[in-house]
Amino acid sequence: MIKILVDELIKAIQSLIDKHKLPLNKIVGVGIAVPGMVDGKNGHIHYAAAMGVENFPLKLKLESKLQLEYTIANDANAGAMDVKWYTEPNQKLPANIVYITYNQGAKNLGAGLIINNVLYYGVSGAAGEIFYPLPKIPSIIERGIKKLGPDHPVLKHNAAEDVKISDIMQFARQDCSLSTFVIEEICKVIADEIARTIGFINPDLIVIGGEYYHAGRFS
C-alpha cells in the first residue's frame, strides 16, 4: 500500500511536469495534502487511517524518487490555507477561520485553524484533530434499513459496505429515502462538532470541506 502510494504520487507529479513542460529547476516546490496527523515540518505522516498509513516519512520517500522540494500538509490545514489564499478579488476574509473536513475513510473529523490570520499547527502539528469517532456509512445504512425497510435504489448498485458518499449524494438527488437518511445522520455529527467548535474557539467563519463537500449538493 505504501509503495503504491509513493509510486502513484510520483506518477501524478511527473505527469503534470510533462504536460506543462516544466523544467525541474523552475519548480519552487510540490505541496501534498494528507488526511491524517502530519508533521509538516519534517514531511512525516504520523497516522492516516483513510490511507492505511502510519509512521511514514513521505517527504524523504518522494525526494528519493524525484528530487524536488516537497511540503506535506494535513488536508484540513491545506483547506484552511486554500480558503485564506484563494478568495474573490475584492473579498476580505475575517481573521479567525475554522475549516472542517469530512472524509469517508477517516476515523474522525479534522479541522484547520487560522487564528489572527495565521495557520495554527500546535506543538507537533496535531492542532485541529477532532477525536470524536465518525459513524461509518455501512452502520448508518443498517440503521436506515431498520427504520425505512430494505428496498432502496442505492443498494441495488452497491453492497452497504461499498457505498461511497458520492453514491449517497447521487441517489439522494433521486429521492432515495435511505440516502437522505444517511446524509442527515452525517450532518448531525458535523453540526454537533460545529457547535462544539463555536463554543471552544468562537471563530468568525466556519468552512466545510473534504469528500462531503466535493460530493456536491443533493437539494
Domain boundaries along the sequence of the chain = 2-73
| pLDDT at 1 (0 to 100) | 65
| pLDDT at 154 (0 to 100) | 85
In CATH, 2-73 is 3.30.420.40: yes
| pLDDT at 33 (0 to 100) | 92
Measured CA to CA, the distance from residue 15 to residue 9 in angstroms comes to 10
Pairing of strands 108-115, 118-120: antiparallel
Model confidence pLDDT, tens digit, residues 98-122: 999 887 777 778 899 999 999 998 8
Q: Give the global pTM.
A: 0.80
| pLDDT at 218 (0 to 100) | 53
| pLDDT at 36 (0 to 100) | 84
| pLDDT at 217 (0 to 100) | 58
> pLDDT means per 10 residues in the chain (219 residues)?
85 96 93 89 86 90 94 92 80 89 78 92 79 82 92 83 86 91 90 90 91 62
| pLDDT at 141 (0 to 100) | 92
